[in-house]
Structure 1
Amino acid sequence: MQTQTHDLTFTTSEVRKRYVSWDRGEADREWACLTLLAQHAPGVAPKPLRKETSDGGPVVVMERIPGEPLGGAPLTSAQTASLGRALRRLYDVPLEAVRDSGLQERIYGPTTHAAMVAEWLGDSSDLTQCRDAEQVQWAVDAASAWLADPDSLPEPQLVALGISDLNPANVLWDGDICRLVDFEDGGLTDPAYELADHVEHIAGRLAGVFDRDALVDAVGLAPEERERMRAYRPLWAAFWLAMLLPGNGGFRRNPSGTTEAQAKHLMELLT
């Protein structure tokens, strides 16, 4: 799996984001998302300024917005409330406008993700490299069985615009307002699916960055959406387990025992 998708350069007023390839359409998705937000939810994300090509790669130039990346510590109540408002404004971009923009389903979207995760979990991994191979195998088998059950997950919906990757580093806080950056994987999605992804993101979950219940309240998910979110959380926990298996970058980058901790977390969601 490709880990580096872009390079960033900064001036006092602009950010130039050069993508390493055209293959996955990141530049087009980013431009479309930023354009929609500038029109329908100004202030949530940087304004798009222009598109360029540099050294054969696509470039999106956007305004530089104030703030420092979150992460490493739990959000304060003010940060959670502001992030919830930003996500709500994102999800409230008119669906017709999103469809008219030409944006398709987000990367790792609700119609395809379960099959992909099942395939990744089914790939052979040398679990002897794990601290507790038996525990990890147990979780892999349980997740695979859960994913094989057609009743495990809700019927997919594509009803809103989403950012896709809410690594806490993609949330900028200026002391008053949270703003969102990095829409290269964004597109059509389901708010419940998005929130499940966000609260299960390993960069936020391991550091306790997001208060799950407080964030859901701040976004204002309806009761039916909260049920859908709960149903989707094991899918994202299984995704991160797959990313943390030996042979994948997550296994190399994280401390020993992280895979076992993810296996334990997944089993807690499944029981």
Structure 2
Amino acid sequence: MITHTHDLTFSETEVRKRFTSWDEGEPDREWMCLLLLAQHAPELAPRPLRRETAEGDPVIVMERLPGTPLETGALTTRQTAALGAALRRLFDVPFDDARATGIGERRLGPSTLRPHLIGWAAAPHDLSALHEPRLGERALSGAREFLATSPTPAFELSVIGIADLNPANVLWDGSVCRLVDFEDGGLSDPAFELADHVEHLAGRGVYDADALIRAVSLSTAERERLSEWRTHWAVFWLIMLLPGNGGFRRNPPGTTEQQAERVLRMLDG
């Protein structure tokens, strides 16, 4: 489930990221990713400067990058091309070097997402708080059937992924996109990553899925398995938006129903 894991403080040249939760090894994962990117894709992500502790909490200090987070409106053609180029640089980091650093699979990676979804979907859910509980139940029932009967999509751990491409984690300086927040990042599959990115709830209305997929230049095999992973990520967001979960509380009324309709459309093909 999604939880708040850190606090940020800024100076003119540095960002201090203080972790308030690190059960999943977030500080180590982010530090290793940033070290790797500083070597192989400089200026794509913040350069790591030092590690500290503050009252027992781990802290990563990194350089402050130029640019501001992407706005909530739809990206321009230029921004989409720049974001695609940034993701391509990320995916082109030498995989053998990434694996040699000891970086593991990203959080909720291609080998772990589906088992988590099966467990979360199977749990009892009280949908009475929804405006349209029957719609929510249809989507949840369809998701359960999909997870029970469909094969696990193919994947190949072959790239480094950021995991969380919330538009707030993309800095735009007018010409270049840079990426921040690698605490969930790690080894991944390009189709899996891009499926995650274009289905991200915060990216709805911001990312043009088809345009971003073209901009990243996936291989034919990667594009073929992209749609299967997109359905899995759509189910993920349906579950996050169910009553009792944080996504339901943080989003406007009706968001769950919209996601339920999205899932049903995808399941219907």
TM-score, normalised to structure 1, is: 0.97
Q: How far apart, CA to CA, are the structure 1 residues paired with 2:5 and 2:22?
A: 10
- Residue 176 of structure 2 aligns with which residue? 177
- Please state whether the residue corresponding to 1:58 is helix, strand or coil: strand
Q: CA RMSD in A?
A: 1.0
- AA aligned to 1:229 is L
Per-residue deviation, 1:5: 0.2
Q: How far apart, CA to CA, are the structure 2 residues paired with 1:213 and 1:35?
A: 31
1:226 aligns with 2:223: yes
Per-residue deviation, 1:150: 4.3
Change (3 A) 1:234 1:2: closer
- Residue 217 of structure 1 aligns with which residue? 214
| Contact 1:110/1:156 (<8 A) preserved | yes
Structure 1: 4+ residue segments shifted above 6 A:
none
1:109 aligns with 2:109: yes
Q: How far apart, CA to CA, are the structure 2 residues paired with 1:4 and 1:127?
A: 25
Size of the alignment, in residue pairs?
A: 268
Q: 1:257 aligns with which of 251, 254, 257?
A: 254
| Contact 1:71/1:204 (<8 A) preserved | no
Q: Aligned runs of 1:150-229 on 2, under 5 Å?
A: 150-151=150-151, 153-205=152-204, 208-229=205-226
Per-residue deviation, 1:22: 3.5
5+ residue gaps, structure 1:
none
| Contact 1:103/1:188 (<8 A) preserved | yes
- Residue 76 of structure 2 aligns with which residue? 76
Q: How far apart, CA to CA, are the structure 1 residues paired with 2:10 and 2:16?
A: 6
- Please state whether the residue corresponding to 2:128 is helix, strand or coil: helix
Q: Deviations over 1:58-89 (max 9, x none)?
A: 11110000111113101111111111111001
- Residue 136 of structure 2 aligns with which residue? 136
| Contact 1:244/1:258 (<8 A) preserved | yes
- Please state whether the residue corresponding to 2:239 is helix, strand or coil: helix
Q: How far apart, CA to CA, are the structure 1 residues paired with 2:4 and 2:196?
A: 20
1:64 aligns with 2:61: no
1:245 aligns with 2:267: no
Q: How far apart, CA to CA, are the structure 1 residues paired with 2:77 and 2:111?
A: 33
TM-score, normalised to structure 2, is: 0.97
